[in-house]
Amino acid sequence: MKKWMTWLFAFLLIFPALTWGNSEATAETNDEDLFRVGMEAGYPPFNWTQQTDKNGAVPIDGQKEYAGGYDVEIARKVAEGLGKKLVIVKISWDGLAPALTSGKIDAIIAGMSPTEERKKAIDFSEAYHHAELVMMVKKGSPFEEARSLADFEGAKITGQLGTLHYDAIDQIPGVQKELAMDDFPAMRVALESGVIDGYVSENVEGLTARKINPNFVMVQFDEGKGFELSEADSTVAIGLRKGSPLTEPINEVLGNISREQREEIMATAIEQQPGAEDDATGGFFFWVKKIVEENGVMFLRGAGMTLLISLIGTVLGTAIGMAIGMFRTIPTPKKAGKRGLFNFLNTLFSIYIEVFRGTPMIVQSMVIYYGAAQAFGININRTIAAIIIVSINTGAYMTEIVRGGIFAVDKGQFEAAQAIGMTHYQTMRHIVVPQVIRNILPATGNEFVINIKDTSVLNVIAVSELFFQAKTVSGANFRFFETFSVVCVIYFVMTFAVTQILRRIEKKLDGPGHYEPYGNQMQVQKPETID
Amino acid sequence: MEKMIEIKDLHKDFGKNHILKGVNLTIHRGEVVTIIGSSGSGKSTLLRCINMLEEPTSGDILFKGDSILSDEYSLSQLRTHLGMVFQQFNLFENKNALQNCVIGQVQVLKRSQKEAEKIAMDNLCKVGMGEFQNASPKQLSGGQKQRVAIARALSMNPDCLLFDEPTSALDPEMVGEVLKTIRELAAEGLTMVVVTHEMGFAKDVSDRVVFMDQGVIAEENTPEEIFNHPKELRTKEFLKRILEQH
């Protein structure tokens, strides 16, 4: 039993360490020589993630995976033209713009259209791809034969959040505009399950989706009967910081890539994208097996990252909670100066707790990682940033939990310690803290489990934890149910292992309920005086 | 006889409640003083004032001639000289019997771990708990816990032991073992102040009995006089009530 525990502990400690140590290129080389490009690496054929560098895929910064696709090819050509080294940074869609404006990346090449709204925040290069908007529907649905927007009257339609696809839905007369969705994988699941009748997409994405899932039909509209798009909307361009000196040279490079060349690159990308060669048939277990075989390592790395962040975050958070919780037990000092400082710190801690408990972690990540970089020029390693965010978030909750834990320690314990002359510090250190730790153990375990799950929001700051990896994989293979089933099991195994370990620790701390006086004779001294 | 503790016109208020209304009491070295009285008469508050678990509102307490209420007086020092035994035992829940007796010696008296363990073991054996040295508090019965608590207080080598109703939280069959331990300590000549409801015990063990009523000492005398020839009407009534209960 004990051995088993030791092994599990060792695993918990070593496993996350394996994912560590993949240093980020940005930290090593001079920034001037690098061309750092942000993309989702989960939007084939524009960009995707793969395990090897075949077909000239580029390694993703700070990870063991590679990025490929139309965007990557364009990025490579641009980097060559600029005479810089290409670095691909994998960031979720929502994190792209903040990453650019805060200087974490130099350009966004992620199939992004230069809309008026975006232009307020960032600049765009000339277009490097011209898109046509299409509608994706399910085979056999009444909309399969649609040829004009009018045919979609009464249909439940959605599009990707924050894209022109979504805004274009308003052009359909009498449409039921559904809530926008985060990404294509989500919309594909919604379409497959019948939650929506269709989603707005581009011909390229549509071709890909149709190719991989034969259940999908791409509706292309007759001339003049489709979506009306401005030039800006129907193109895809490179996002750049306002007033970036790169704009001019990049336009020059793009100008040298002919339309034919682009179409060829796109055709190759559609050909090469992961899953393209796969057989679309096969049952649930066939796919699960395939996903585990092909992406198992990627999932394990993601799980390792998740475990690393949540483990360190929980430990540090508990330490923060302990420190503040203990500070609050100090009796108010009598001297005015000390009392002022004491009250000031107390107020500060209260604000900290209220703010971090009262705001979502995803918002905190945005503010701390991108906000700090943009406002103060502070550039933090993203894994460290993630750990800091989870720690201070957990700390805010743990402070209150520790407070409860201290309350639960009997008043008599303090008095007994006082009565033998122990100071406040000695009492806390030797009597109260050990009991508080026991008291808060169940709640700490809870926080740990919550952290394992909540780290999934950290992909907005480009941390490749398990959920982000799963999104990437499903974005490539279009097998959402199977992919997320695998990930579901991994999450469960992690949280279940954690709860079991903590339960055992609790049991060990509690010890047996009875005591056998001579059960351990080795340690017992003979009573000397008993009359 | 050397004066150990002198209490002078002691008052204690909890908000608007006046618990102690001018208490004067002197305890000499080697003396066993029991304090009796009905609930709410201020017995426990008086005892807790002696080692400053409660801060008196006014009056003075001298320990070996020095005022413990002056700012310069070290409370930590005072408390090492005054052992306290609580009604609810208050054993440190995270420590076993031996560690309970060791921690104060090592942390406060700065004794070495080895020396502290030896002293702790001697005291555990003295109260008949030697074989339970590794037991955690929750593995012990009430009587056993209280005996360990006594050993813990003794391990600090106090000049005086304060007992705050040491048997009130015990099941009746365990009262005997704890009282027996206290009797043995009394026989050794240790100075003790005991707040108790055990009249038989008070009668046997005390050099002096103090009867408290409504925040003042109503009568103090030898046990012989108090129990057989009480002078005050309220002492008589209290004893009558107590005897009727038993």
Find chain A residues with C-beta within 8 A of B114's C-beta: none
Mean pLDDT of the B216-241 span: 92
For residues A90 and A71, give the distance between their C-alpha atoms in angstroms, rounded to a whole number. Answer: 12
Residue of A nearest to B50 (CA): A419
Instruction: Verify whether the Cβ–Cβ distance A528 to B93 is below 8 Å.
Output: no
Find chain A residues with C-beta within 8 A of B103's C-beta: 420, 422, 430-431
Instruction: Verify whether the Cβ–Cβ distance A423 to B76 is below 8 Å.
Output: yes
Size of interface A-B (CB pairs under 8 A): 110
High-pLDDT (> 70) share of chain B, %: 100
State the nearest Cα–Cα gap between B78 and chain A, in angstroms.
8
pTM comes to: 0.70
Instruction: Verify whether the Cβ–Cβ distance A515 to B90 is below 8 Å.
Output: no
Quote the mean pLDDT of chain B: 93
For every one of its 531 residues, what pLDDT tens digit does chain A have, with 9 covering 90 and above?
Answer: 456 656 666 666 565 555 544 444 444 445 778 999 999 888 888 898 888 888 888 999 888 888 999 999 999 999 999 999 999 999 888 889 889 988 889 999 998 888 888 888 899 999 898 878 889 999 888 888 888 888 898 899 999 887 788 888 988 988 988 888 887 878 888 888 888 999 998 877 787 787 777 888 888 888 778 888 777 777 889 999 998 899 999 999 998 988 888 888 888 888 887 765 555 566 788 888 888 888 888 898 889 999 999 999 999 999 999 999 888 888 888 788 888 898 999 999 999 999 999 999 888 888 888 888 878 877 778 888 899 999 999 999 999 999 999 999 999 999 999 999 999 899 999 999 999 999 999 999 999 999 999 888 888 787 888 888 888 888 777 778 888 999 999 999 999 999 999 889 888 888 777 776 655 444 444 444 444
pLDDT of residue A18: 53
Find chain B residues with C-beta within 8 A of A527's C-beta: 125, 128, 130-131
Q: B54, B90, B101, B138: best mutation site toward chain A, by most A Cβ within 10 Å?
A: B90
State the nearest Cα–Cα gap between A514 and chain B, in angstroms.
5
Q: Which residues pair with A89 in a beta bridge?
A: A38
Residue of B nearest to A423 (CA): B76
Find chain B residues with C-beta within 8 A of A515's C-beta: 132, 134-136, 139-140
Residue of B nearest to A421 (CA): B76
Q: Which CATH architecture has domain B3-244?
A: 3-Layer(aba) Sandwich (3.40)
State the nearest Cα–Cα gap between B154 and chain A, in angstroms.
10
Of A430, A438, A528, the CB nearest to B122: A528
pLDDT of residue A310: 93
Q: Is residue A137 classed as helix, strand or coil in its secondary structure?
A: strand
Of A415, A512, A517, the CB nearest to B131: A517
Of A416, A435, A517, the CB nearest to B90: A416
Instruction: Verify whether the Cβ–Cβ distance A515 to B136 is below 8 Å.
Output: yes
Where does residue A37 fall: left (phi above 0), alpha (psi -120 to 50 degrees), or beta otherwise?
Answer: beta
Per-residue model confidence as pLDDT tens digits over B23-63:
999 999 999 999 999 988 999 999 999 999 999 999 999 99
Instruction: Verify whether the Cβ–Cβ distance B153 to A420 is below 8 Å.
Output: yes
User: Closest Cα partner for A308 from A362, A245, A389, A383?
Assistant: A383
Residue of B nearest to A429 (CA): B107
Of B93, B121, B153, the CB nearest to A435: B93
pLDDT of residue A521: 46
Find chain A residues with C-beta within 8 A of B152's C-beta: 420
Query: By a Cβ cutoff of 8 Å, what residues of chain B touch chain A?
Result: 51, 53, 75-80, 82-84, 86, 88-95, 103-104, 107-108, 121-122, 125-126, 128, 130-136, 138-140, 149, 152-153, 156, 184
Mean pLDDT of the B74-103 span: 93
